[in-house]
Amino acid sequence: MATEDPENRGDKRRGSNNGYSTTPSSYPIEESETQWTSWLVPIFVVINIAMFIVVMYVNDCPKNNSGFQGNCVARFLGRFSFQPLKENPLFGASSSTLKKLGALEWDKVVHRHQGWRLVTCIWLHAGVIHLLVNMLSLVFIGIRLEQQFGFVRIGITYLFSGFGGSILSALFIQNNISVGASGALFGLLGAMLSELLTNWTIYTNKAAALLTLLIIIVINLGLGILPRVDNFAHIGGFLTGFLLGFVLLPRPQFGWLEQRSVPTSTIPIVRSKYKPYQYVLWLISLVILIAGFVVALVMLFRGENGNHHCHWCHYLSCIPTSKWDCDEIN
């Protein structure tokens, strides 16, 4: 996951504007909005690391005839040693261990009524490399967003995006397990994009910010077409976060903020906290979000296969080439 911060707000200066920072476009950004202390995202990181340690402790690397851990990697770690690289090239546990501890598995979700796997899989990772990449991305993206918007909105975005990614993954990938926080992370990227769009007027260098963010998103989604990568979780998380950004992350318009700090006789009265287009985007996004979750969950627990309704969608997760066959790998 790329971690660049493309949203350049320009220089922030405390001057005579009653505690607000001004940009060249004369739209202030309240400095208190950037003063949240980030504690939830670090907790998420700790939980993910702790869950990986639990997975590796429970994992039992196969032993040879002499009772030693045959082809296991880093055997000096004892029971924390990794599965053979042919089985798990990401330096992690076996598939059976991940299944035991809550990996997303379509059959168990639908036929054994284990819907909780749609949530638990978000906190599991296939290996050290998988964990490291996701946690670094979460730190760089999540802490910045939590500092700006607070733990409630970012926590909701992260968790619901992960849930949305799990639902879409289960609808389209029914023969393999899925783990990882990537869906939740893509949700944060989606929220960054919708936040930029819904608060468009307060940004400087907005075109450059939009272009940079779109490039980051396209590159990361593009990597999802490689084998062994669950791009449906990425797409589901991204769409959920994108819609939640319009619902949870709009900023009050300039006049509303200013009239709270200066005499109203000196500025025009702004009666609405948000601009009309922000209300429209809020309503449309909320309706689509609720409808999408309801329809997707109904389809999932009825046992439907998303590929039967979209015959080309499997290419979104893996494109076959002369180097690999998606059916054999996935």
Could you tell me if 50 and 62 are in contact, meaning their C-beta atoms sit under 8 angstroms apart?
Answer: no
Does the pLDDT at position 25 exceed 60?
no
Instruction: Please report the pLDDT score of residue 60 as a whole number.
Output: 75
Is the pLDDT at 165 greater than 60? The verdict is yes
* Average pLDDT score over the chain: 82
> What integer pLDDT is reported at residue 247 of this predicted model?
97
As a whole number, mean pLDDT of residues 217-229 equals 83
pLDDT over threshold 60, residue 7: no
The pLDDT assigned to 79 comes to 74
Among positive and negative, which fits the CA dihedral 212, 186, 287, 146?
negative
pLDDT value at residue 228: 73
Say if residues 310 and 299 touch (Cβ distance below 8 Å): no
Query: Worst-scoring range by mean pLDDT, 15-24, 28-37, 77-86, 295-304?
Result: 15-24
- What are 29's strand-pairing partners? 21
From the list 182, 194, 285, 317, the catalytic residue is 182
Rounded-to-integer distance, Cα 232 and Cα 326, Å: 14
Q: Three-state DSSP class for 104?
A: strand
Whether 271 has a pLDDT exceeding 80, the answer reads: no
Distance CA 270, CA 1 (A): 41
Q: Residue 275, CB half-sphere, CA atoms under 13 Å: how many?
A: 15
Residue 120, both tokens: 């638990």
Q: What is the pLDDT of residues 204-213, one digit of tens each?
A: 888 888 998 9
**pLDDT (0 to 100) of residue 273:** 80
What phi and psi values does residue 324 have, to the nearest 5 degrees? -155, 155
- Please give the Cα distance from 38 to 139 (Å, whole number): 10
How confident is the model over 241-260, as pLDDT tens digits? 999 999 999 988 776 666 66
Between residues 206 and 4, the one the model is more confident about: 206
Residue 284 has pLDDT above 90, yes or no: yes
Give the residue carrying structure tokens 């619902």: 247
Q: Where residue 132 falls among pLDDT bands split at 50, 70, 90?
A: very high
What DSSP letter does each residue of 246-292 carry, written as one string?
HHH-----HHHHHTTTS-GGGS-----SS-HHHHHHHHHHHHHHHHH
Measured between alpha carbons, how far is 300 from 96 in angstroms, rounded to an integer?
23
> Which band of pLDDT confidence, cut at 50, 70 and 90, is reported for residue 167?
very high
Give pLDDT, residue 69.
52
CB within 8 A of 285, min separation 6: which ones? 194, 243, 244, 246, 247
Least trusted range by pLDDT, from 12-16, 33-37, 134-138:
12-16
Of residues 36 and 327, the one with the higher pLDDT is: 36
pLDDT for 136 beyond 80: yes
Kindly report which listed range (3-12, 97-106, 153-162) carries the lowest average pLDDT score.
3-12
Q: Is 96 a catalytic residue?
A: no
Q: Which of 234, 285, 314, 317 is catalytic?
A: 234
Per-residue pLDDT, 84 = 78
* Per-residue pLDDT at 192 exceeds 70: yes
Largest CA distance in the chain: 88
pTM of the entire predicted model? 0.83
